[in-house]
Each structure stands twice: as structure tokens, then as C-alpha cells.
Copies of this chain bind each other. A is one copy, B any other.
Amino acid sequence: MSAIKLCVIGTGLIGGSLALALKQKKYCAEIIGAGRSEATLKKAVELGVVDHYETSPENAVADADIVVVAVPLGAMHAVFKSISTALKPGAIVTDAGSAKQSVIMDAAKSLASHFANFVPGHPIAGTEQSGVAAAFAELYQQRRVILTPTDKTSTDAVNAVTAMWQTAGAEVECMSAEHHDLVLAGTSHLPHLLAFGLVDCLNNLDDVDEVFRFAAGGFRDFTRIASSDPVMWRDICLSNKDAVMDMMRRYRDQMDDMYKSMEAGDGEALKQVFERAKKARDDFCG
């Protein structure tokens, strides 16, 4: 049993699943949970996700060697601010936010002398579910975690956070925060906007019930991500605003081209788009 004391702030699907995985692997001696809702924290103890909890983040981090901040992006700044003077010297802080440049700005402003021990991170995992009851130890098995250290980030801290995620079953890679934000805007943030937008668009048609009644399996898969948490996704989109708007403009150009092909009855142009897309999708999803 290691002597590491871990603090997880935000014991939802992401933080809770990490705690469960690390507990299973005996990665740490103790896991302290913290968060806004005492009901959630009590449930986290009941479910064996954390050993005990503190409702104040300051108290929760006091003895911690590693602090994982797994709260919505909109709450990052306030959490960093509240823990910055309570962290013990050398404590490592990492996060699990889906946009990285905004979190780094928040941390740079608030973590003061601890900023060198802050390792920005993003586990590429999750489901459309949320909350501690949805947490499970296997969530990170063979999933990727991206770390985006800055030029001020300590190498030892990066190594420690890498080891933590590897223990939970993940593959860890480093890249720049800027590159991360563009890649995720394309593969995650834009698709969520498109799915939310499609369901809302169809919802505005007459005879709504009927429209959805004739939806087949393909539509259910396509719109699954539209069941994701609205507040979380509002925060993600706004936290990664520039990259998301860049991807939205590229996508609008793509769809405008396809509309013109439809208008002209240009089946060959449409077929070429569909063929390229099918090939790319088949290649990357095996």
C-alpha cells in the first residue's frame, strides 16, 4: 500500500471513476472527497468511491499529496482560488477539464506558487451519464489521457500524474494546450453542438412526437450525445470558444458545399464526399 494521500474535488463520473480505479489498484493510502453537494459526498462514501469527505476544499486538500480537480470548467477558477493557500508544499494539482487553455489561465491566476506543480490534464473518456452513481472503475481502461504541461510545469509533477493515470488503466500522451483544444473542438465539442442542434431543430417541427417516433437506430446513435449534461457542455463550448467557433465555420463551409451539390443535383460530388468520409471512418474505427 502506497502512502499517497489523494484528494478528489468533484466526485462525479470522472472524479469518482478515477477514485474507484485507483482504490482497486491500491495506488493510495487514503482518498478524501470534496465538492459542493454534501448529499453527493455522502453517496460517494457509501459507494466506496472515497474514504471520507470534507465540504470545504481548503480542509480537503490540507494533507493531500495529489489533488485531482474534476469539477465543471465554470467552477475551476473558484476551486483553484480556494485551495491555493491550503495546499501543502510540493503538493501536485491536476484537473480533468475538457478545454485546456482556459484552465491553464485560471490556474496561472489562482494557484500562485503552486502553478509549477499544476499538471493540466484531460481524460478522453466519459458517457452521456453523469454523477457519482454512474462512476465505475473500468472507465479509463485503454482510454487516452492528454496532459498539456506548460513551460513552467515541473517534470516530476508530470511524471507523477502520468503514473496515476497509467495506474487507472489509461494511456497518457502530452501535447500543447492549443493543439489539444483544436483537436477536441473537432472530435468532441463540435459533434456535441451538432447533435444538440439537430434534436432542437427537429423539436421545432410540427408533429414532433411523430418525427421522433420514426427515428431508427442510426438516429439514436447519432443523437446519444445530445443527452449529455447541458451546463457542462455550455461551459466546455464557452471555455474553448475560439477553437469551437473555428470548427463551426469549417463545418458550415463543408455543409454549404454539400447543399450546393444537392441543389445542382451533382450526385458525383456528393458520392465523393460520402466515399471519403466512409473510408476515413472505417479506417479509424477499424
Residues in chain A within 8 A of chain B (CB atoms): 124-128, 143-144, 146, 183-184, 186-188, 190-205, 207-231, 233-235, 237-238, 241, 244-245, 248-252, 254-256, 258-259, 262-263, 265, 267, 270-271, 273-278, 280-285
Given known contacts A230-B275, A231-B271, A184 and B214 CB-to-CB distance under 8 angstroms: yes
From A231, which residue of chain B is reached at the shortest CB distance?
A: B271
Judge whether B285 and A220 touch: CB under 8 Å: yes
Cα–Cα, bound, A154→B219 (Å): 33
On chain B, the residues within 8 Å of A204 by CB distance are: 250, 254
**Nearest CB to that of A263 among chain B residues?**
B245
Whether B211 and A188, one on each chain, are in contact in the complex, defined by CB atoms closer than 8 angstroms, is: no
Residues in B neighbouring A254, C-beta threshold 8 A: 197-198, 200-201, 204
Q: Which of B184, B219, B262 contacts A238 (CB 8 A)?
A: B262
Number of copies: 2
Other A-B pairs, 4, CB within 8 Å; known A212-B283, A215-B284: A124-B214, A187-B214, A190-B198, A252-B255
Is A233 touching B191 in the complex (CB atoms < 8 A)?
no
Known: A238-B270, A262-B244. A188 touches B219 (CB 8 A): yes
Q: Which residues of B contact A259 (CB under 8 A)?
A: 245, 248-249, 252
Residues of B within 8 A of A217 (CB): 125-127
Shortest Cβ distance from residue A127 to the other chain B in the assembled complex, whole angstroms: 7
Query: Which of chain B's residues has its CB closest to A256's CB?
Result: B252
C-alpha spacing A207/B284, complex, angstroms = 13
